[in-house]
Structure 1
Amino acid sequence: MSTVRSFVVTGGGRGVGRAVVTRLLRDDDTAVVVLDHDPAALSWLPSTRTRLVGLSGDAGDDRVTGRAADLAEALGPLAGWVNNAAVFRDAWIDSVPPSELLAHIVANLAPAVAGSATAVRRFRAAGHGGAIVNVSSHQAQRPVRGALPYATAKAAIEGLTRALAVDHGPHGIRVNAVALGSIDTERSEAYLAARPPDEAARIVDELARLHPLGRPGDATEVAEAVAFLLSPASSFISGAVLPVDGARAARGADPEAR
């Protein structure tokens, strides 16, 4: 009988995070701790499943991530950590005080730092390697106007990914990131539902045009990529940023497109 491997997924209550949790649990030898700041986002977790544990708290607080690691290690050796928690706050540098702007950046960067620090310490204390996957965005390379805090944090997360891979590769720890394009989630659906029908239709058409595959992605497609990067099948991949964006980042603006 194989040993159960445990994972922590932050921001795992909804959207991409929930899809990652669901994908990981498809393997019989896995257990997952779902960390989310919103207790309501954990209401779907069945109380009877011993391989799935929820924890409500701030993923940017290392006391909370430490508790998540404790819960995971009680289920089985900690094998992987997914830093997915994110905050979406637009801001313009000419209208927001620098302290507020920095706070917005930290709100997105701190969960990746705290989660990675906890994971690295636990992997090293256990004497085995492990895998970390950070969730980034196409905006790390090509920001959307007004999204400075989010784009800056995601660029920093990609730098963090490479630095961690270099620093802790000798300890058997792999660190990678997925850079997402537009992904259909409950959040995007709610956003479109709140717009007038003609505006929503325009947004849908524009998103299709931005992605050479002709559509936004699905959260399950992201989950497959994350599961691959956590798995032994990617054992020689580290320090990589994998676009999961339907070629959105590869697409250059065509002045003759219209």
Structure 2
Amino acid sequence: MADSYVVTGGGRGIGRAVVERLLADGAHVVAIELDETALDWTRRHPAAARVHAVTGDAGDEAVAARAADLAEKAGRLAGWVNNAAVFRDASLHSASPREVMDLIAVNVGAPLTGCATAVRRFLAAGTGGAIVNVTSHQARQAVPGCTPYVTAKAAIEGLTRALAVEYGPRGIRVNAVAPGSVRTERYDEFLARQGPEGAAHIEAEMARLHPLGRVARAEEVAATIVHLLSDEASFINGATIPVDGGRSVLAHDPEAYEPPS
């Protein structure tokens, strides 16, 4: 019986690229997505028999449990990818501490729930397993105006290290991947709203920002995530791997801006 995996935010972008890569490797995959329409493609996929869609909030324990049940029914639950995130900015001078805290909680809650569900299932099965959390270069290289997102991603990297230490002795590896900018549907939609001239300017800035001269393809981030899930990464634990084309090394961020006063 093939191994199975759960991928949150699996309908689009990096999440879908991870699902596609795992399916190509012959695995069963459960994709969790808040937006049901983002999972329409799973019904038409050539490997539709091995991809299972779950609609709901990845931070909801019942949703995570349903996904885990489907994965275990399909095969040995071998890995869990916490990719789902909410992109909303806020600054302390214009938003209340409660608003900022709520935004932080949304982005920490989903991976925390995913990690808890995966750890419990791995321990119950006695098989071990791998968890990969998707963070961001912003966890270490903050962008003004993005306090909730920066704080949440930094917390997830701390969670990754804590779980790696606590559960490594029981055969559970926990790692994180920190992308820079990635060409996803969301990125392309953003460019389209800028018009040709604005899009060209943004693309030029992104080329300056990433030493490799471009943003990542979702498939490139997915390749690292799938590697960390695999036995080939059997001695990698508690690590955060930058997949940002050198963006965090350059440490110059023209995307940064001063939030409005």
TM-score (norm 2): 0.94
State the SS of the aligned residue for 2:16.
helix
**What residue number does 1:10 align with?**
8
Measured in 2, the distance between the counterparts of 1:104 and 1:195 equals 26
Cα distance, 1:49 vs structure 2: 2.3
CA displacement 1:50-70 (0-9 Å, x = unmatched): 211000000011111011100
CA distance in 2, matches of 1:203, 1:147: 19
1:143-200 CA-partner distances (Å, limit 9, x unpaired): 1121111111000000000000001001100000000000000000000101133222
Shift of 1:103: 0.6
Query: What is the match of residue 42 of structure 2?
Result: 45
Match of 1:72 in 2: 71
Post-superposition Cα deviations, 1:10-45, rounded to whole Å, max 9, x if no partner, equal 0000011000000001112x1000000000101101
Residue aligning to 2:153: 154
Q: Tell me the amino acid that sits aligned with residue 38 of structure 2.
A: A
Identity %: 59
Distance 1:208 1:126 in 2: 46
Partners of 1:7 and 1:227 lie apart in 2 by 10
Gaps of 5+ in 2: 254-261
Question: Match for residue 98 of structure 1?
Answer: 97
Report the counterpart of residue 136 of structure 1 in structure 2: 135
CA distance, structure 1, for counterparts of residue 90 and residue 25 of structure 2: 41
Quick one: which amino acid aligns to residue 119 of structure 1? A
> In the alignment, does 2:20 pair up with 1:35?
no
Alignment map for 1:179-190 (pairs within 5 Å): 179-190=178-189
| Equivalent position amino acid for 1:212 in 2 | P
Aligned match of 2:203: 204
Correspondence for 1:168: 167
Equivalence for 1:235:
234
User: Aligned equivalents of 2:138 and 2:99: distance in 1?
Assistant: 20
Q: CA RMSD in A?
A: 1.2
Determine the C-alpha separation between the residues in 2 that align with 1:244 and 1:135. 10
**Does 1:22 find its partner at 2:28?**
no
Note if 1:125 corresponds to 2:121. no
The answer for the alignment partner of 2:250 in structure 1 is 251
Distance in 2 between the 1:189 and 1:78 partners? 34
Alignment partners' CA distance in 2, 1:213 and 1:195 = 24
Name the SS for the 1:92 alignment partner.
coil
In the alignment, which residue of structure 1 is the partner of 2:257?
none
- Any unmatched runs of 5+ in structure 1? none
Partner Cα distance (2:195, 2:145) in 1: 22
Provide the secondary structure at the position in 1 that maps to 2:78.
strand
Q: Distance in 1 between matches of 2:18 and 2:127?
A: 23
Cα offset, 1:237, TM superposition: 0.3
Number of residue pairs matched? 251
Counterpart of 2:131 in 1: which secondary structure? Answer: strand
What amino acid sits opposite 1:142 in the alignment? Q
Give the Å deviation of 1:252: 3.4
